Amino acid sequence: MFLVDWFYGILASFGLYQKEAKILFLGLDNAGKTTLLHMLKDERLVQHQPTQYPTSEDLSIRMIKFKAFDLGGHQIVRRVWKDYYAKVFAFMYVCIYIFSRRNQLKN
Ligand SMILES: Nc1nc2c(ncn2[C@@H]2O[C@H](COP(=O)(O)OP(=O)(O)OP(=O)(O)O)[C@@H](O)[C@H]2O)c(=O)[nH]1
Ligand SMILES: [Mg+2]
């Protein structure tokens, strides 16, 4: 799957083999963090409820193992992000891009 290959390529380029790194999935609410994390885990697109509490998943893509933290993007849960910054290998900041009809007309 393209997404898994793409993510694996990023991790491999950092030489992440056998290091069991901690990766935080950050971004505003509704950005797609939980969807992305579960697509990497199960290679399936599933609809999720907004994340209320931080969760973590042990993921493994081919030779690379890592612990992914999905912290939630709502204003209240964003307050706990800083509690997870210690010993982080990477931040995955997920953004949403809305291609609205207004943009379409402008261009
Ligand atoms: N079109 C499109 N929709 C997406 C994509 N990723 C997620 N979504 C949709 O965006 C909505 C929010 O996705 P989530 O993964 O729950 O977002 P989140 O960042 O975890 O949100 P919080 O848990 O509230 O912080 C859902 O309705 C998803 O189906 C994507 O790549 N494309
Ligand atoms: Mg979520």
51 is in an annotated binding site: yes
pTM of full prediction above 0.90: no
CB atoms under 10 Å from CB of 53, counted, come to: 9
In the chain, where do the E strands start and end?
Answer: 21-26, 55-61, 64-70, 90-93
Q: Is the CB of 62 under 6 A from ligand 1?
A: no
Condensed to tens digits (0 to 9), the pLDDT of residues 22-60 reads 999 999 999 999 999 999 999 889 999 999 999 999 998
Q: Is the pLDDT of residue 86 over 60?
A: yes
Q: Is the pLDDT of residue 91 over 70?
A: yes
Q: What rounded mean pLDDT belongs to the chain?
A: 86
Q: Is the ipTM of this complex over 0.85?
A: yes
Task: Give, for ligand 1, the residue of 4, 6, 24, 30 to mutate: max count of ligand atoms closer than 8 Å to Cβ.
Answer: 30
35 is in an annotated binding site: yes
Q: Which domains does the chain have, with CATH numbers?
A: 16-94 (3.40.50.300)
